[in-house]
Amino acid sequence: MFRSTIEAAVRDALQAIGAGGVVFIVERPADMAHGDYSTNAAMIARVDARELTAQLHIEGVERIEVVGKFINFFLSHETIVSYKQDIPQIYEGKKVLVEYTSPNLFKPLHIGNLIGNILGESVSRLLEATGADVKRLNYPSDIGMTIAKSVWGLQELELNPEDIAELGKAYVAGNDAYESGEAKEKIEEINRALYENSNAELSALRKRGIATSLRHLHQLCERLGTKKFDKEIFESESGPVGQNIVKEHVGDVFEESEGAVVYKGEQTRVFLTSQGLPTYEAKEVGLFELKTKAYPDFDISITVTGKEQQDFFRVVFDAVRKLFPDKTAGKTLAHIPTSFLRLTTGKMSSRLGNVITGESLLEDLTRATRGREDVAVGAIKYTVLKSGSTKDILFDPEKSLSLDGDSGPYLQYAHTRALSLIKAAKEASIIAEKPLSPAAGRKGDASESGFSARTTLERTLLHFPEVIERAAKELEPHYVTTYLTELASAFNSWYASERVIVDGKVSSHALGLVAAVEQTLAKGLQVLGIPAPEEM
RNA sequence: GCUCUCGUAGUUUAAUGGAUAGAAUAUCUCCCUCCGAAGGAGGUGAUGCAGGUUCGAUUCCUGCCGAGAGCACCA
């Protein structure tokens, strides 16, 4: 990455004029007119910018400009077009566990469930692209009231546990019967029986329903392009494990309070109920034990869940560190909160009948994309991955998702265009051409601060590795999305302004540029988990 | 009540304390005898309010207003 080269040079130069040790930044200026990189070093170190720049001689930098308080660096054209886009392997040698998706089995997968899956997959790919050995984990809920309600529904309405749609119906019926009080006790009894595995018929129904649900989940993951999970750990497994661990640590980590076993951290959380049953908190402890038993040599453990669980994870991680000081020493435990998905039409609920399942969304959108599921997947993922994780995602079922402009298909389309140019160029004769000089690439006078579409594209291409690095470091794929949109836009502008193949001839430089765009878009889309189709 | 998020064009949003707040969409103009118009060029339009810190604040701090979430035996 060229940025680190400049950073090192500036550091040395500061040292040379006796102003070493300050924390400055080298960044990509918002406006290209301010160079390929810029630094605030002179301002921060309170030194004369000219004195500082006099010390700077960086190979590949053609011009250093002092504008006001900033020092701007312009790379030479040769450097820009020949620079290798190697992605820094900042997670090299690290083993990372990424737990995501983790649905309630039996319940239909709605579009909210998709967010965790899409974000978790992209984070996994981002980590892999930067050198990590990633293990994908799924933690589905296969026991508890949701299941009991569904099993009641299956039994009462004699529904088919092999049919995902009937499973959904069973849950809705069970939930209604529970909330209306009609079958509250009966369902609680079923819940106990399932926990104790004391009723063969009920347990069999549960088992069949789980199998159906899982099969369905895996199918949807495949359609979305989510890689197979390396391991699935079920709530029915983590419960007893967590329960035992917590019991063993009453007195040192946990304490009893009003009959329950609690942890007093930043806030007080119940781990075992007064009946001695494990809560979600205790199950999380069990999950950690199971995870680390399977992957004892992990370095980073990431959990992707809804952001309403943020406080919960702060406390649980705290407790886990106290419970497992050896296992957690030097390790990173992280929670990535996912945004809420809000509907413009109000809250999603099965009662109101406005639940949008992952599948129905995919199918509706596939119709809108003239039958292209890969384009539909791109549209959905782009929407999820385009903004930072702190914001809610607003979803308008009427307008559905955008297919043009700032969208997944926009990126995919730019990529297919680049590919088709490359294909067409195979039949053209290639003429060697020296890259145009930057001066020649500039249009009009400099005061317009206008660069040719070609120069803009070349200079945008340069920043890909830094963007990936930052996204991986911060676990924020949206930086990649934003960058790719910018790149696709620069490519489309250039495409419209300049013909690449003229009279069966193509310049080597232009062809190289197209190839670089194609590879960068493909790599970026790959990291986002968005398909890069060859044709659209 | 306490704690945590978030308030940017009509709408969806970007911006690592930096330069003229960048896109998309909607709307109004143009551009396919030419490598793919799911595209390109242009117009209109935005940082909730009030203070503070700073050479510089959408970004940090305080208060207010507004939205959402969490806060003991649910997951």
Tens of pLDDT, residue by residue over A243-278, are 999 999 999 999 999 999 999 988 899 999 999 999
CA of A44 to C1' of B53 (A): 17
> Does an H or E element contain A380, and which?
helix A373-385
Decide: CB of A332 under 7 A of nucleic strand B. Answer: no
Beta-bridge partners for A394 = A342
pLDDT score at A229: 98
Segments of chain A scoring below 50 in pLDDT: 437-449
What residues does each domain of chain A span?
2-75, 95-234+297-343
- pLDDT given at position A349: 66
Q: What is the pLDDT of residue A450?
A: 66
The H or E element containing residue A95 is: strand A95-99
**Which CATH number is A2-75 given?**
3.30.1360.70
- A110, HSE (Cβ side, Cα atoms, 13 Å): 18
Check residues 347 to 386 of chain A and report those whose beta carbon is under 7 Å from nucleic acid strand B: 369-370, 372, 375, 386
CA max distance for chain A: 85
pLDDT of residue A7: 94
Does strand B come within 7 Å of the CB of A309? Answer: yes
Give the angle subtended at the CA of A510 by the CAs of A504 and A511, to the nearest 5°.
70
Is residue A150 within 8 Å of residue A167, measured between CB atoms?
A: yes
Distances from the Cα of A382 to the Cα of A75, A400, A408, angstroms: 32, 13, 5
Question: Which residues of chain A between 14 and 33 are close to nucleic strand B, CB under 7 A?
Answer: 25, 27-31, 33
Q: What angle do CA A471, A56, A451 make, to 5 degrees?
A: 60
Distance in angstroms: CA A27, C1' B60: 20
Residues 508-527 of A with CB under 7 A from strand B: none
Residue A468 and residue A452 in contact, taking contact as beta carbons nearer than 8 Å: no
| Torsion sign across C-alpha atoms A497, A503, A505, A511 | positive
Return the amino acid letter for A97. L
SS3 A513: helix
Nucleic strand B within 7 A of Cβ A294: no
Number of H helices, E strands in chain A: 21, 17
Q: What is the pLDDT of residue A351?
A: 59
CA atoms of A467 and A299, how far apart (whole Å): 23
pLDDT score for A439 = 36
Q: Do the Cβ atoms of A411 and A503 come closer than 8 Å?
A: no
Give the residue nearest to nucleotide B2 (CA to C1'): A267
Burial A4-29 (b: 16+ CB within 10 A, else e): ebbbebbbebbeeeebeeeebebebb
Predicted local confidence at residue A435, as pLDDT: 54
Predicted ipTM?
Answer: 0.96
* Distant-in-sequence, close-in-space partners of A206: CB < 8 Å, separation ≥ 6: A142, A147, A151, A194
Q: Which nucleotide is nearest to A466 (CA to C1')?
A: B16
Report whether A498 contacts A67 (CB < 8 A): no
Check: CATH 3.40.50.620 for A95-234+297-343? yes
C1’ B57 / CA A147, Å: 51
Nucleotides of B under 7 A from a protein CB: 3-7, 11-16, 18-20, 22-26, 34-41, 55, 68-75
Q: CA A390 → C1' B57, Å?
A: 20
What pLDDT is recorded for position A438?
41
